[in-house]
Amino acid sequence: MKKVVWGVIGTAKIARERALPGMLKSELIEIRAIASRDEGAASRAAYALGIPQAYGSYEALLADPEIEAVYNPLPNHLHVPLTLAAAAAGKHVLCEKPIALTADEAARLREAARNVLIAEAFMVRCHPQWLRARELVREGRIGELRAVQMFFAYNNLDPANVRNRADIGGGGLYDIGCYPIVAGRFFLAAEPVRAIALVDRDPDFRTDRLTSALVDFGDGRRLDFTVGTQLAPHQRLNLCGAKGRIEIPIPVNAPQGAPTRILVDDCRSLDGAGIVAEELPASDQYQLQGEAFSRAVRGEAALAYGIEDAIANMRVIDALFRSEKSGAFEVVAAP
């Protein structure tokens, strides 16, 4: 397959330290340029990563006729505007999560997605540990999957960090709460019908720093999760059925380029005697994500998750923010 030529709008940490190092490993991807409103920042990132071209504006990169696809890791409030700008320039777009701040805002991308590919960058769905866990669920290894439970936390008290700025889409639910929502939809293979949340906000930042949620998928199937931005770093994902459970010890920040494992427990004993660790080969989920999108650009494979999937995820986030105010279950709006 001919390499897809990529450009990057923004020098966010996730791009510099995770996504781009992964994508640069691929034989299917050529990262031609990176842009920032600060030309010095773009030049430094380009030099550090070995990217040949640095631009001092997003517009300059989008005007580059050689660039076919754009990776958008900008702060959350810029996801939709810059994705629309890239699409208008004829570029396919892989946009960081959350793709928007509301489902209605995400829906603004529908028209653009008729002409170019637009996808939300949930790299976890490309990782072998998620794919293998779903395979085991589908095979009935743990019986019918009824409960998905996830915990995800980090500790960030920097007032200048974009995650702590409410005015540009900061907070735990947007930043990391989107992952358990994706997990519920991915493993249950369904869309939720209602959701309720309990939210604690930082008195200064006004961002949600501790959010717990219960998401009802109907037919006795549930997702419950807690995410925190001012807690000791920790993450776990459990898939629970009548015959056993599957645990993914590091469901989101799996070590790049290293082997991983999932734990399959027949639950014969509460002391873990029934746990079998299944080792998975070394992989880089950012490389795999970039390759999947590139194959879709070339028409080698269908785009697995497009704009409608991204809108569906945003509907759940919308419902949880409504629930924060109402204190009750809120209906997850139908498509």
Look at residues 239, 219, 220, 277 and name the one whose alpha carbon lies nearest to residue 150. 239
Query: Does the pLDDT at position 334 exceed 80?
Result: no
Using CA atoms, how far residue 267 sits from 130, 155, 216, 288, in Å, is: 21, 32, 24, 33
Please, how many CA atoms are within 13 Å of residue 158, restricted to the half-sphere of its CB?
6
Share of the chain above pLDDT 70, in %: 99
Per-residue pLDDT tens digits for 202-241: 999 999 999 999 999 999 999 999 999 999 999 999 999 9
Q: What is the model's pLDDT at position 183?
A: 98
Report the Cα–Cα distance between both ends of the chain, in Å, rounded.
36
Mean of the pLDDT values across residues 34-46? 97
Report d(CA 252, CA 245) in Å as an integer.
18
Span 73-118, pLDDT tens digits: 999 999 999 999 999 999 999 999 999 999 999 999 999 999 999 9
Give the confidence band of 124 by pLDDT, cuts at 50, 70, 90.
very high
Instruction: Please give the radius of gyration of the chain, using alpha carbons only, rounded to the nearest integer.
Output: 20
pLDDT at 253 over 90: yes
What pLDDT is recorded for position 335?
Answer: 55
Burial class (CB in 10 A: 0-12, 13-18, 19+), 273: exposed
pLDDT at position 333 is 79
Report the pLDDT averaged over residues 29-47. Answer: 97
pLDDT of residue 197: 98
Helices 178-188 and 307-326: angle between axes, nearest 10 degrees: 120
pTM, two decimal places: 0.97
Quick check: 154 and 231 in contact, CB under 8 A? Answer: yes
Q: Which residues contact 262 (CB under 8 A, 6 or more apart)?
A: 129, 132, 133, 246, 247, 248, 249, 277, 278, 280
Q: CA–CA separation, 261 vs 287, rounded Å? A: 19
Neighbour-count burial of 256, counting CB atoms closer than 10 A to its CB (0-12 exposed, 13-18 middle, 19+ buried): middle
Q: Which ranges of the chain would DSSP assign to H, the alpha helix? A: 13-14, 20-23, 39-49, 58-62, 79-88, 103-107, 128-138, 172, 178-188, 285-297, 307-326
User: What is the largest distance, in Å, between two alpha-carbon atoms of the chain?
Assistant: 61
Chain segment 283-323, per-residue pLDDT in tens: 999 999 999 999 999 999 999 999 999 999 999 999 999 99
Query: Residue 195: what are its φ and ψ, rounded to 5°?
Result: -155, 150
* 160 token code pair: 């200048």
**Catalytic site residue from 91, 97, 243, 325:** 97
At 334, give phi and psi (nearest 5°). -75, 155
pLDDT reported for residue 93: 98
97 is catalytic: yes
Query: For the chain, what is the mean pLDDT?
Result: 97
**How do residues 148-202 score in pLDDT, each as one tens digit?**
999 999 999 999 999 999 999 999 999 999 999 999 999 999 999 999 999 999 9
With pLDDT > 90 as the criterion, what percentage of the chain qualifies?
A: 99
Phi and psi of 220, rounded to 5°?
A: 70, 25
Mean pLDDT calculated for residue range 265-276 = 97
Contact 313, 332 (CB under 8 A): no
